[in-house]
């Protein structure tokens, strides 16, 4: 396997199952990616051309990094957002239990987790295990 020395945003290459779930939830606005959602929505999600799917606009050594302003750090963008939203609405009609309320497309959550009992998304971030460079504020 070739070594990949690229640097990725924590949203583009999350560590751990909770952060990985948070990424899927942020991209799709669904608490779980069903087979139907995977098949109909995934083709409309493509690597961000602005950052090469790294989610970063730049890294500055030990100072930190900047999130890509196009994909907000997720490393992916919607090929056709209107079509994506239309297909997502069709899925939600059939499976309303998997919708994430107040979802905004293309914006990462640090780590939303589904509360299965109440079926709501709560913020329940565990502490990061490894030290990680911080994000720098975008100018302007
Ligand atoms: Zn990007």
Reported as a single tens digit per residue, the pLDDT across 9-31 is 888 998 877 788 889 989 999 98
pLDDT tens digit sequence for 73-94: 999 999 999 999 999 999 999 9
Number of structural domains the chain divides into: 1
Is the pLDDT reported for residue 122 higher than 50? yes
d(CA 118, ligand 1 centre) in Å? 34
Q: Per the domain annotation, does 3 fall within a domain? A: no
Q: Per the domain annotation, does 105 fall within a domain? A: yes
Contact 31, 60 (CB under 8 A): no
d(CA 86, ligand 1 centre) in Å? 23
Q: Per the domain annotation, does 31 fall within a domain? A: yes
Q: Per the domain annotation, does 10 fall within a domain? A: no
CA distance 28 to 7: 24
Q: Per the domain annotation, does 62 fall within a domain? A: yes
CA distance 65 to 107: 17
More confident residue, 140 or 111: 111
d(CA 129, ligand 1 centre) in Å? 25
Residue 1 pLDDT: 44
């Amino acid at each position: 396997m070739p070594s990949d020395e690229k640097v990725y945003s924590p949203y583009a290459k999350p560590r751990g199952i909770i952060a990985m779930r948070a990424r899927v939830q942020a991209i799709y606005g669904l608490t779980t990616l069903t087979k139907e959602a995977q098949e109909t929505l995934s083709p409309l999600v493509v690597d961000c051309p602005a950052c090469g799917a790294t989610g970063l606009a730049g890294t500055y050594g030990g100072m930190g990094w900047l999130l890509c302003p196009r994909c907000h750090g997720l490393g992916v963008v919607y090929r056709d957002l209107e079509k994506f939203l239309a297909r997502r609405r069709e899925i939600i009609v059939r499976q309303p239990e998997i919708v994430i309320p107040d979802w905004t497309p293309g914006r990462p959550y640090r780590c939303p987790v589904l509360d299965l009992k109440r079926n709501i998304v709560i913020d329940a971030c565990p502490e990061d295990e490894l030290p990680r460079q911080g994000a720098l504020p975008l100018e302007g």
